[in-house]
Structure 1
Amino acid sequence: MATVEHCLYCFESLAAHLAGRKSLALEDIEKLYAEFCEADDTPTGQDGSSSGGSKTGVMKKRIPAISRLATNSSSSGASSPSSGSSMSLATDTPDTSMSSLDRASAPITESPLFVTWNTVSARSGHTSLRGCIGTFEAQELEDGLSSYAVTSAVHDMRFEPVSKRELPTLEVAVTLLTDFEDCDDAMDWELGTHGLRISFSDRGRRYGATYLPDVASEQGWTKEETLVSLMRKAGWVGKKDKWQDVDLKVVRYQGKKEHLQYPEYKQWRDWVESQGKA
């Protein structure tokens, strides 16, 4: 499943990109996070000041775990991105016989993945989408997480690129995708459990789109509302009450998600720097 370390690595990759410096490697982050969790002292910045709370308060002392966006397109051209917390890439869905990637005790080294950035309201704590891009093709996590962390922040065409000054307002969510299965019909999936990838043809045009597993539940949609919204996202402009006349191919999948807000990353990064390990 996705881990805190994966989220730290995404923040580190984006922060390094925006600052024009070299990022720490995922392997180094995993090692340093384990050391951070084992340390008894409250992390401090290089100036000796607290970085914003104790580990149990901000980081909650979590236990460490042992291409450019292609919009949903038709055959005649790409459709405009629509709302939603994920966007699909023009890659083939993995074999539907693919087994869960996090079974057994072996660490995950590659996986299909999505990286989502949200803006967190300082007043209410509510989040709003700031960028989300991923791939259904298995990626080596070292390269995939770094690449999509930056791509989803600066190349999601629904938004302006994330700037350095925005970093303190951000939350990152990493979703590793598992258990791809062909649905027997358009309703053969469960709200809150499955993400969906649909593909279909209508009037000589081909369409495709995806929603991650948490989208429908977050929006409070029914299954039908989810499917219609997903068809709209793909660019379909048919009548809402005619959606069932379209022959949908639906692939369901699951996602192992973790999320992290900037203050948690900052606290860990300050500790790393205070130890002279950055």
Structure 2
Amino acid sequence: MLTLEDGYKLVKAARTAIEQHLANKEVKIDEEIKRYSQKSGVFVTLNKKASKEELRGCIGYPLPTKPLYQALIDAAISATRDPRFEPVRLEEMEGITIELSILTEPELIKVDDPREYPKKIKVGRDGLLIHWRYGSGLLLPQVAIEYNW
């Protein structure tokens, strides 16, 4: 289980990696951050600070395929190039907040009747990874809260 202090360290590592990348410098990973070596899914969300936060990028790994520190750095840098938005510029970083979502291993929700799903999902705690036919989508736990679902 990660602590609040861990969260501060991981956000700082993400910000440092983004700023190094945007300055065209070599991204150096602090040795202390390498202790977060457990495989974990992670999403990095970049929001522009304003009266109402404005999304600037959100990229991540829904499944635990890489060590957390490595997935974090990769996702943080990729979030600056989210194809839905113009690329983030270095001079914007002072006005950008970074939010991390560290994901647990997904669990299959089994029900006999689709109407049972709401009883099995806790809004604000559970994210959803949905696969259907040829596509898939991910809903991070905090999104439902942010949109008052």
2:61 to 114, 124, 135: 135
TM-score normalised by length of structure 1: 0.46
Matching residue of 2:114: none
Matching residue of 1:117: 46
SS in 2 for 1:137: coil
Which fold has the larger relative contact order, with Cα–Cα distance below 8 Å and residues 6 or more apart in sequence? 1
Do the aligned partners of 1:8 and 1:29 also contact (CA within 8 Å) in 2? no
Unaligned 5+ segments in structure 1 are 31-106, 222-278
Structure 1 residue identity aligned to 2:77: V
SS in 2 for 1:176: strand
Q: Deviations over 1:181-232 (max 9, x none)?
A: 111243221111100011123xxxx2210110100111011xxxxxxxxxxx
2:77 to 134, 141, 150: 150
| Mapped partners of 1:207, 1:21: distance in 2 | 36
Unaligned 5+ segments in structure 2 are 112-116
| Mapped partners of 1:137, 1:199: distance in 2 | 13
| Mapped partners of 1:183, 1:28: distance in 2 | 36
2:138 to 184, 206, 210: 210
| Mapped partners of 2:36, 2:25: distance in 1 | 27
| Percentage of identical aligned residues | 29
Structure 1 or 2, whichever has the larger Rg, is 1
| Mapped partners of 2:25, 2:91: distance in 1 | 16
| Mapped partners of 1:135, 1:179: distance in 2 | 11
Matching residue of 1:9: 13
2:129 to 197, 202, 207: 197
TM-score normalised by length of structure 2: 0.82
RMSD (Å), alpha carbons: 1.9
Higher helix share: 2
Name the CA shift for 1:200/1:26 in 2 (closer, same or farther; >3 Å): same
SS in 1 for 2:85: coil
